[in-house]
Structure 1
């Protein structure tokens, strides 16, 4: 499905949990809500504070959307009861001095983190706009942020390092000497998946040791997202493709999905069956997610196994 309406590049996409609605954010300074059953935009474009939108994230409880953009802009939007409307909260989130390139909600949906090219990471209380941790100075442009599944750790990808903190005290737990445009925890919290240039790296989330490192694209890497069911992750690039990788074997899944332009926004649906992309051509596309080899094996009919066993027994 292709969703058309934005007037500039689409930088961020997010599924509203428990619904068939998608939210997108664009350099045209708007957020838009889409009905995935009809492919139509719901309501009017949502305008924030006259800033291009670079990143958006949905809360785990499905009630909130946070957007980050130019000039340190951060907005929080409440998802209405009917799930089709977003209402901007009249709360000021002032703290960053430059573009916000990463936002993510904590598992409790009460706090969220942001990363900015002003070289800081902040953790905010959604209800009040108060900074409750930070600004954490990272020494280079902060490009992305990610929470561990239990919310006890916060990771940031920066222009020079991957840094992990304890969220309770803000104590630095780990610093990996690796630039990371994007970083994410696996659903079990044991590994970090990060991307930089054409390079993908899987690291131990406690020690920082490299588990696997490989080239994923033929041009610079842009986005990374891990499927909620923990089976795979997807990446996008300036090479105009989206690619899937098995999170167990790290092998590619299927063929690259081609786009006419570079792909910036990326999000899995809650059930890991759909993925949405936001593109340089102002369009959003939704795709069916291919199954990994391990998932395909699990789908083999149970009736096949006894027949194979019987054949082996007969030969023996």
Structure 2
């Protein structure tokens, strides 16, 4: 299959803004962490956000007040590298640079949100823990480590139910297919996909991937490495499209819950958006004062949170994708009649001539 390659984007390019497109902007800046913020996650069904940092803590934030909720959450003895939220919103898993894994139960109400550490031990990784993702079943999660292994864990017991899988190089990230039957790993040398029912390796793509994820239909993979993004066929591994997304090393990747776009972050101090249908850039990059590591969409896809190397968490509005703009346009044409019409069929009176 043909490979399409685009030239590297200049620093924070301003993309054309379509009529009706909102320019994304920072909504809130959350201050409290003492070192770099490596990951963030919205707590479903609430106005709260959780973050993990190199200060070895997790913190919960109230997005209405911009204030930290309660005290920092301690338990890790090393840098908190990654977070993952379960699909049902009940659990958060955190992974640290010493290979430790903690699971937190989320207890929320309208005014408070609390993360309670679950007393389960997860022993298996012997080095830094750089990738984690919950399975669609909410009962298991997968992890990737610099010890060159991938594991699938039982959340309730801490048992390894699949693995450890030796991948032959640093394992950076993991992703489940939407139906939960496949697991993909991005490593220093390959992208590998396994069938979780049989344990069989289905595909090994000869390309380095720092981050990898399945598209919502499960048919393609989006991966990022160095400065470029690749869209690949999830069955054959053929590259469908490849383009330079950043001017410095890529750091993270997340798909919006509504399936219209994805966001990437980088050492080049930006977060950028791309249409999930056309893979073209959307709107303008979000400018930060330092590298951006953590990124997460809200459930309605209207907000994005970023964790930055300046120790701050930020929330931002999100630009609309092409499909979203078309929906907005159809809505307004349906509700608001064109100005040149002498009357609206939805009104009971005619417009008087000027």
Shorter-chain TM-score tier: over 0.9
Residue-by-residue CA offset, 1:227-274 (whole Å, 9 max, x unaligned):
111100000111101100001111100111110000000111111111
Q: Which residue of 1 aligns with 2:32?
A: 5
* Aligned: 1:24 with 2:54: no
Is the 1:187–1:229 contact (alpha carbons within 8 Å) kept by the matching residues of 2? no
Shift in Å, 1:18: 1.4
Superposed CA RMSD in Å reads 1.5
Runs of 4+ off more than 2 Å: 301-308
Tell me the SS of whatever aligns to 2:209: coil
Is the 1:57–1:67 contact (alpha carbons within 8 Å) kept by the matching residues of 2? yes
Which residues of structure 1 form unaligned runs of 5+?
Answer: 311-316
The TM-score with structure 2 as length reference comes to 0.85
Q: 2:229 aligns with which of 200, 203, 207?
A: 200
Q: 1:302 aligns with which of 323, 333, 339?
A: 333
Shift in Å, 1:294: 2.2
* Aligned: 1:55 with 2:86: no
Q: Which residue of 2 aligns with 1:279?
A: 308
Q: Which residue of 1 aligns with 2:91?
A: 64
Q: Which residue of 1 aligns with 2:104?
A: 77
Q: 2:205 aligns with which of 162, 172, 176?
A: 176
What is the distance in 2 between the residues matched to 1:217 and 1:304? 40
Q: Which residue of 1 aligns with 2:347?
A: none
Shift in Å, 1:205: 1.1
Shift in Å, 1:295: 1.2
What is the distance in 1 between the residues matched to 2:80 and 2:36? 10
Tell me the SS of whatever aligns to 1:90: coil
Q: Which residue of 1 aligns with 2:260?
A: 231
What is the distance in 2 between the residues matched to 1:141 and 1:185? 20
What is the distance in 2 between the residues matched to 1:65 and 1:207? 33
Is the 1:30–1:53 contact (alpha carbons within 8 Å) kept by the matching residues of 2? yes
Q: Which residue of 2 aligns with 1:245?
A: 274
Q: Which residue of 1 aligns with 2:352?
A: none
Tell me the SS of whatever aligns to 2:45: coil
Residue-by-residue CA offset, 1:102-125 (whole Å, 9 max, x unaligned):
011001110000000000000000
Q: Which moved more, 1:255-264 or 1:296-305?
A: 296-305
What is the distance in 1 between the residues matched to 2:224 and 2:199? 24
* Aligned: 1:115 with 2:144: yes
Higher RCO (CA-CA < 8 Å; seq separation 6+): 2
Shift in Å, 1:303: 3.9
What is the distance in 2 between the residues matched to 1:76 and 1:95? 15
* Number of residues of Structure 1 aligned to a counterpart in Structure 2: 309
The TM-score with structure 1 as length reference comes to 0.95
Is the 2:36–2:309 contact (alpha carbons within 8 Å) kept by the matching residues of 1? yes
Q: Which residue of 2 aligns with 1:105?
A: 134
Q: Which residue of 1 aligns with 2:322?
A: 293
What is the distance in 1 between the residues matched to 2:161 and 2:257? 27
Give 1 or 2 for the bigger CA radius of gyration: 2
What is the distance in 1 between the residues matched to 2:139 and 2:108? 18
What is the distance in 2 between the residues matched to 1:285 and 1:49? 23
Q: Which moved more, 1:80-89 or 1:44-53?
A: 80-89
